[in-house]
Amino acid sequence: MRVVSLHADVLLATSAIWQTNCTIIRGRVEPDPDNPVRVRIAGEPDPVDETFVIDSPVLPEELEALPALIDQAGFPAPSGLLATHADWDHLLARLAFPEAALGCAASTALRLNTEPGTAQRELRAFDDGHYLARPAPLPLGSVQVLGVPGVCEIGAHELALHPAEGHSSDGMAVWSPWSGVLAVGDYLSAVEIPVLGEGGSVGVYAATLERLRALVAQAQFVVPGHGPVLGSEQALALLEEDLIYLQALRSRGGESARLPEGRRSKAQSAIHAENVARAAAFGG
C-alpha cells in the first residue's frame, strides 16, 4: 500500500490491488484561519477534532495497517466511515474500524438493503481466488443515511456530498473545500474506462460527469476510486474523453466506440465488451 499526504488534513492510501484509493480526512476544531469553516449556531455543542475514512484499501494487511497509519499521522481515530458506493471493494474500512459509523447516500443504503450479503459473497470470491485469509467476515451492519446532495460535518468543517450514479445505481462524490480534495468514487480514472456496473446507465453516467465538472474545476486534487490522483486540468481532460466514449457507446451501437488513449489494454477491452452488452440490454 502506498500512502501520501495531499494536504495537512488529508492522507491518501492506495491499495496494491486495482490502485484502489482510500481517502482519510481530518476535520480540526482550530483549522487554518485562511480556510473557511462551518458557521456555528448558538447552542450547538462544541465541535471536536474528527477523522473520516472514505472508501477502503483491499488487502488484509493494508486494512490492518490503517489504524496505526492514522495514529502516526497525528489524526484522531476515525469516528466515521464514508462509502462512495456499494461495490464491495469500497466497503472494507469496517474491517479496520468495526465500531465506526458507516455513512452513505440513500441510494447506496437502498442497494445494500436490496442486495443483502452480495458484498460479502463477492469479497469471499475475491479472497478465494487470491488465496487470501481475513480474520473476520465483513460486518456491514446498519448504515447512516446521509442527505445527498447535502453536507456532513467533520470537526469545524463540512464535507459537501453530491450524487454520483451511473457507474452503478447508487453513489456520491465527497468534496472537501478547505483542502481542495474531491473524492469521486468510480469516475475519472486514468487507468480504467467508464464502467457500467450493475444498475449502471450510459445517460446517468454522463449526467454525473457533467454534474462533477464544476467541482473538478475547483479541486486541487481529484481522487478516483482507482488510479492516480489527478490535478484539475488532468481531470477535466479525462472527463471530456469519458464523455466522448459514452456518447459513442450510446450512438454507434457500442462496438465501434474507440477506447480513450492510454486505456486500450486487453483488460479495458473486456470491460468495453461488457459495457456494450449492458448498454444494449438496458438501452443506455
Reduce the DSSP state of residue 196 to 3 states and report it.
Answer: coil
Q: What is the reported pLDDT for 37? A: 57
Distance CA 123, CA 65 (A): 19
What is the pLDDT confidence band of residue 76, given thresholds at 50, 70 and 90?
A: very high
Query: What global pTM score does this model have?
Result: 0.91
What is the pLDDT confidence band of residue 45, given thresholds at 50, 70 and 90?
A: low
Domains of the chain by range and CATH? 2-282 (3.60.15.10)
Q: Is 51 in contact with 25 (CB distance < 8 Å)?
A: yes
Mean pLDDT of all residues belonging to the chain:
92
Amino acid at the residue 108: T
Q: What is the reported pLDDT for 113? A: 93
Q: Is 27 in contact with 38 (CB distance < 8 Å)?
A: no
What is the pLDDT confidence band of residue 39, given thresholds at 50, 70 and 90?
A: low
Helices 202-218 and 232-251, packing angle to 10 deg = 170
* Average confidence (pLDDT) over 94-114: 95
Q: Does residue 254 have a pLDDT over 80?
A: no
Distance CA 218, CA 240 (A): 16
Distance CA 177, CA 175 (A): 6
State the alpha helices, DSSP H only, in the chain. 60-72, 93-96, 106-114, 118-129, 202-218, 232-251, 266-282
Q: What is the reported pLDDT for 229? A: 98
